[in-house]
Amino acid sequence: MTFKSLLAKGIPAVLIPGIIFASIYGVKNLDKLEKYQNDKRIFPVSGIVEEVEDGDTFSLGSGHIVRMTGINAPDRGEEGYSEAGEYLKKKLEGEKVYLEYDRYQDDKYGRILAWVWINCESDKPKFSDWDYMRVNRSESKPYITEKPEGCKEGELVNKSLVEEKMAVPLNYESRGRLKYEL
């Protein structure tokens, strides 16, 4: 088991040092990691927002750090930074959020990348699978235009931030589109 072989299996670089450590110290069945995207301990379906870091990043009570996918809010020192962070704090801190995953589920900083939903009418909204959009590495199905079952009354926070001009949409066309067009 090498860093390169794990990368070739599609395992994110951020997880590899821990996997190698675990394999050295006797953890068995590492082959089951091929479907790590479905592990709810790594990628939870919901949680309570504990703290908002900035206009597109927050932490859950479980300790997971979530970066909202498909958008970019101003970074520290940029114009609009505090407004975006305050907007997200008012909207999310202490609230239950539902996380929907897409083809990119984590970043190089170890943060979860997710579509963030609030005010869903069901405790278990039925989101499409994380790889739903994937046709191949650079091709995707058409954007999803309907809200998911169980969250028809809910709000997609990523989209709200763009509509309120607190964030701008990110374009991943060269790597394959995400589920929603913002």
| Pairing of the two strands 65-68 and 71-72 | unpaired
79 contact partners, CB below 8 Å, separation of at least 6: none
The tokens for 40 are 């709810």
Where is 170: in which H helix or E strand?
none
User: How high is the pLDDT of residue 45?
Assistant: 94
The third-level CATH classification (topology) of the domain covering 40-169 is OB fold (Dihydrolipoamide Acetyltransferase, E2P) (2.40.50)
Q: Which residue has the higher pLDDT, 52 or 109?
A: 52
User: How high is the pLDDT of residue 36?
Assistant: 66
Query: How far, in Å, CA of 107 to CA of 155, rounded?
Result: 24
User: How high is the pLDDT of residue 26?
Assistant: 57
The pLDDT tens digits for 36-93 are 677 777 789 999 999 999 999 999 998 899 999 999 999 888 888 889 999 999 999 9
| Pairing of the two strands 96-100 and 112-118 | antiparallel
Query: How far, in Å, CA of 20 to CA of 16, rounded?
Result: 6
Entry pTM: 0.79
User: How high is the pLDDT of residue 106?
Assistant: 83
3 state DSSP class of 17:
helix
- Local confidence band at 136 (pLDDT 50, 70, 90 cut-offs): confident
Q: Where are the domains of the chain?
A: 1-39, 40-169
Q: Which residue has the higher pLDDT, 161 or 2?
A: 161
Q: Which residue has the higher pLDDT, 138 or 73?
A: 73
Q: Which of 134, 133, 131 is nearest to 145 (CA)?
A: 133
User: How high is the pLDDT of residue 80?
Assistant: 82
Per-residue burial over 82-116, b = 16 or more CB atoms within 10 Å of its CB, e = otherwise: eebbebbbebbeeeebbbbbbbbbbeeeebbbbbb
147 contact partners, CB below 8 Å, separation of at least 6: 154, 156
